[in-house]
Amino acid sequence: TLGKCAHCPSVCVCVFTSVYVVFHFMDGLNAEVEFPRLWDYKSITYILGYLHMTHKNAKRIEGLDKNVWITFTSVAADPTIVNLGQGYPDIPPPSYVKEGLVQAVMVDRLNQYTRGFGHPTLVKALSQVYGKVCGRQIDPFKEILVTVGGYGSLFCSIQGLIEEGDEVIIIEPFFDCYVPMVKMAGAKPVFIPLRLSDRKTDISSADWFLDQDELASKFNSKTKAIIINTPNNPIGKVFTRNELQAIADLCIKHDTLCLSDEVYEWLTYKGHDHVKIATLPGMWDRTITVGSAGKTFSVTGWKLGWSIGPEHLVKHLQTVMQNSLYACPTPLQEAVAQGLLRDYELMGQPDCYFSSLAEELQGKRDRIATILKQAGMNPVIPEGGYFMIADVTALNQHLSHVEDDEPYDYKFIKWMTKEKKLAAIPVTAFCGEESIKHFEKYIRFCFIKQDSTLDAAEAILKNWNKA
């Protein structure tokens, strides 16, 4: 009997008995081809796959469809679970920022397209703020691109500057999007892990470092760029001037670009200063620095970020922008500009949000560290950012009954979410295959949370061993 393929009316598959299969299809040149053949199951699948190729995805996304956030957002969607997993605040943004947006929306022309590479008020404000921070004149129109979040900046940078045949060095653990973005650009990620020193107690993110010989060995003539993230997500490491100098020396020696993800730049804790690698000698001309309004003003849902760098690099990011989104939303850009101008005037003063947020978070950081220790975990105290990783080895939690062949931290998180109603993120989501064994006993907590959320977490952690 002749049957019709449910998906594709131009293909008819006829199967009778289990021996003969007749294919009858029309090819693109209007000829009908009909032939009886003895096909095995594998050939049929191959042919059907070929015939359905029109709906097949482009090669650039092969293997890139999975994403840790998609997996874990659904796990923690239950409101009874205390969510210290995904990295966004549940504290409110500063009121002047929200008011700025309301005011912008009420101005007619601010509801229409603005300049594609960045709303003039915003790029000028960024030029002021970062000009001061970097100690140099930054051209608002040629050296800045406004993007859809720090994420969008990374995308424009990688699409603009990285291609097939390139290698890109990525430091583990890394914000998970770096790898799929590099792969989508056709390039090869080359990993180097941060390694823990011999210290056994009171570990901080400063105890995680790059082995210099190992780092040097990763650079070769194909190395187009290195991606650094300081303060680092998830460990919270704030790279020192010396550490950045070592990276800079290698970049200069090998003529490599540097993509510096600094979205947490304002969130450094007492005794630690954020250093911009672009300000080191010889680095401005080869560095793109990524910043984020979402992280700066606790408005991750605004999705505005920026790339700052020399014209000869930024122009390529602008080309990507003009062929992908064209422009970012106008009223949001205006509001961020107003927020930046307000805090620019207050820089160095206690009520500048850039520093007051860090002060507020320091207290939360210390509190979370204490309660994690009480539960028997070993936290790594971060020097910056709003995440803390903790080693769960000492809890000796047996998870061999959990069937999946996933790393220990994935299983631990799933168990903890279900049994303890507390959500966190597995740190192996932030590393390559080969480093899983170094990181699978760590889980990541986000502490930019209201006191009530931290209270709830404390209650769970205090009672950890009493179950």
Partner 1 sequence: MARQLHARRLEGVDKNIWVEFTQLTADYKAVNVGQGFPDFSPPSFIQEAFCSAITGGASMHQYTRGFGHPALVKILAKFFGRIVGRDIDPMEDFQITVGAYQALFCTFQALIDEGDEVIIVEPFFDCYQPMVKMAGGTPSSNLYTLSSADWVLSPEELASNLNPRTKAIVINTPNNPLGKVYQRDELQMIADFCIKHDIICISDEVYEWLTYDGAQHIKIASLPGMWERTVTIGSAGKSFSATGWKVGWAMGPGNIIKHLKTIHQNSVYHCATAAQEAVAMGFQREYDTFGTEDSYFKQLPAQLHKKRLRLAECLRSVGLEPVMPQGGYFMITDISSLQVDLNDPSTKDEPYDFRIVKWLIKEKGLATIPVSGFYSPEHRGNVQNYIRFCFVKVIWFVCI
313 touches partner 1 (CB under 8 A): yes
Which residues, numbered 175-204, are part of the site for partner 1 (CB under 8 A)?
Answer: 177, 180-181, 184-185
Which span sits near partner 1 by CB under 8 A: 85-93, 340-348, 383-391, 397-405? 85-93
If binding is defined by CB under 8 A, does position 465 make contact with partner 1?
no
Identify which of residues 285 and 434 has a Cβ nearer to partner 1 in the complex.
Answer: 285
Site string for partner 1, 203-242 (x = CB under 8 A): ---------------------x------------------
Closer residue to partner 1, CB minimum distance, 104 or 416:
104
**Beta carbon of residue 196, minimum distance to partner 1 (angstroms, whole number):** 30
Nearest-approach distance from CB 310 to partner 1, in angstroms: 10
* Residue 276 makes contact with partner 1 by CB under 8 A: no
In this chain, which stretch among 94-102, 193-201, 231-239, 242-250 interacts with partner 1, using CB under 8 A?
Answer: 94-102
Judged by CB under 8 A, the chain residues 323 through 362 that form the site for partner 1 are 323-332
Q: What is the 3-state secondary structure (H, E, C) of the chain?
A: CEEECCCCCCEEEEEECCCEEEEEEECCCCCEEEEEECCCHHHHHHHHHHHCHHHCCCHHHCCCCCCHHHHHHHHCCCCCCEECCCCCCCCCCCHHHHHHHHHHHCCHHHHCCCCCCCCHHHHHHHHHHHHHHHCCCCCCCCCEEEECHHHHHHHHHHHHHCCCCCEEEEEECCCCCHHHHHHHCCCEEEEEECEECCCCCCCEHHHEECCHHHHHHHCCCCEEEEEEECCCCCCCCCCCHHHHHHHHHHHHHHCCEEEEECCCCCCECCCCCCCCHHHCCCCHHHEEEEEEHHHHCCCHHHCCEEEECCHHHHHHHHHHHHCCCCCCCHHHHHHHHHHHHHHHHCCCCCCCHHHHHHHHHHHHHHHHHHHHHHCCCEEEECCECCEEEEECHHHCCCCCCCCCCCCHHHHHHHHHHHHHCEECEEHHHHCCHHHHHHHCCEEEEECCCCHHHHHHHHHHHHCHHHC
Q: How, if at all, do strands 223-229 and 167-172 pair?
A: parallel
* φ, ψ (nearest 5 deg) of residue 323: -110, 10
Closest CB 425 distance from partner 1, rounded Å: 14
Nearer to partner 1, 193 or 294 (CB): 294
Q: How many residues bind partner 1 (CB under 8 A)?
A: 84
Question: Is 106 among the residues that bind partner 1 (CB under 8 A)?
Answer: yes
Residue 125 or 380 with smaller CB distance to partner 1 = 125
Per CB under 8 A, contacts with partner 1 among 36-75 are 51, 54-55, 57-61, 64-65, 67, 69-70, 73
Residues 248-267 that bind partner 1 (CB under 8 A): 255, 257
Task: Pick the stretch among 174-182, 232-240, 342-350, 434-442 that binds partner 1 (CB under 8 A).
Answer: 174-182
Which of 85, 118, 140, 160 binds partner 1 (CB under 8 A)? It is 160
**Only segment of 105-113, 192-200, 265-273, 398-406 that touches partner 1 (CB under 8 A):** 105-113
What angle do helix axes 311-322 and 149-161 make, rounded to 10 degrees? 110
Q: Which is nearer to partner 1, 152 or 382 (by Cβ)? A: 152
Residue 211 CB, nearest approach to partner 1 (Å): 27
Query: Looking at beta carbons only, is 103 or 128 nearer to partner 1?
Result: 103
Cβ proximity to partner 1, 324 vs 374, nearer residue: 324
Choice from 98, 342, 367, 438 touching partner 1 (CB under 8 A)? 98
Site string for partner 1, 127-156 (x = CB under 8 A): ---------------------xx-xx--x-
Using CB under 8 A, pick the residue from 37, 38, 79, 109 that binds partner 1.
109
When the beta carbons of 268 and 318 are compared against partner 1, the nearer one is: 318
Q: Are strands 144-147 and 82-83 parallel, antiparallel or unpaired?
A: unpaired
Q: Which of 177, 141, 169 is nearest to 257 (CA)?
A: 169
